[in-house]
Amino acid sequence: MKCMYIMEPGKVEFRKGEMPVRKKGQVLLKLLYGGICGSDLGSYKGTFAYFDYPRIPGHEFSAEIIEVDEDNEQGLKPGMIVTCNPYFNCGHCYSCDHGLVNACMDNQTMGCQRDGAFQEYITMPAERVYDGKGLDPKLLAAIEPFCISYHGVSRADVKQGEKVLILGAGTIGVLAAVAAVARGAEVYISDVSEGKLEMAREFGVHGTILNDTPEHFEEKVKTITGGNGFDVTIEAVGLPSTFQNCIDGACFGGRVVLIGVGKKNLDFNFTMIQKKELHVLGSRNALKKDFLELIDLVKEGRVPLEKIITNMYSFDEGDKAFYDFAHNQGIMLKVMLKF
């Protein structure tokens, strides 16, 4: 079968691989669609913190079940269209023992710390495979990034009527905005790209902030919030500057949630956290319940998930997809591969 590798920053290569052999308790899957996420793009560009070369990328996907144990507890059957939880936890570290499996101390996410899904067939443990309940396979492949955003919004405990600011209008930021809007919040999104903000306006946000200068950002935050700051700020980029924006843009007693992943350090006046009595929270990966809840939510037609898919390539065009995405981030949201 054909497998895609990121060999080094900027270099995608296809290799022949052996067909996986399914073991008891596993499911043999044929890939249908796979999304290129921000971490995949960061791996391609050499900026992602959790990646070793060479490696097969990909952890957002939909697939068809080819083989599965007949007596599996999940009710899985051949022919089902499914998605999967790609965050492999060890099951015995301090985090896992306390139920924080999404932040396992030895976490191995597909396409990051272990080979990913961008190959024609894969095997997965049955307990990580979730029935798509008839969702379009393209939408099902977008459930995982929605889970990342949804988990962050859940960590922030966003409430109806609160003012929420999302830093970053990429896929994760836009989907965080969608999740916050669904909770009844008044949601704004900020980015350095006017093109991305234009796309974000199609997802029901209440306003946008072009983050072109610190002065303009500060002025817009004051205008929108009456000088109070936002109840919740969510970082969805992974840059020191956007984390600083979250601290600066939050109200006294506000909640700051960090979803973005980066490599750079931030030197900042940490006393501002004490002065404002901020609640600063990390958000990593997602939980099984996030996947199950969002499959139902999207199936009910309550969120415009289909709008997030802006570009489609065949699997064979994977190198072009990565190149185009890396050079056109301002006009692309979810880039997807069709297997």
Tell me, rounded to whole angstroms, the distance of Cα 31 from its chain centroid: 19
Do 8 and 54 touch, CB atoms closer than 8 A?
A: yes
Per-residue model confidence (pLDDT) at position 108: 95
Compute and round to an integer the Cα radius of gyration of the chain: 20
Per-residue pLDDT of the chain (339 residues; tens, 9 = 90+): 999 999 999 999 999 999 999 999 999 999 999 999 988 999 999 888 778 899 999 999 999 999 999 999 999 999 999 999 999 999 999 999 999 999 999 999 999 999 999 999 999 999 999 999 999 999 999 999 999 999 999 999 999 999 999 999 999 999 999 999 999 999 999 999 999 999 999 999 999 999 999 999 999 999 999 999 999 999 999 999 999 999 999 999 999 999 998 878 999 999 999 999 999 999 999 999 999 999 999 999 878 899 999 999 999 999 999 999 999 988 899 999 999
DSSP 8-class letter at 158: -
Look up residue 152 and give its two tokens. Answer: 């962050």
Q: DSSP letters of 93-140? A: SHHHHTT-GGG-TT-EEBTTTB--S-BSEEEEEGGGEEE-TT--HHHH
Distance CA(280)–CA(289), nearest Å, equals 23
- Report pTM: 0.93
DSSP state of 71: T
Rounded-to-integer distance, Cα 59 and Cα 53, Å? 16
Q: Where are the alpha helices (DSSP H) in the chain?
A: 38-45, 94-97, 137-140, 143-156, 171-182, 194-200, 214-225, 240-249, 271-276, 288-299, 318-327
Q: CB 194: neighbour CB atoms within 10 A?
A: 12
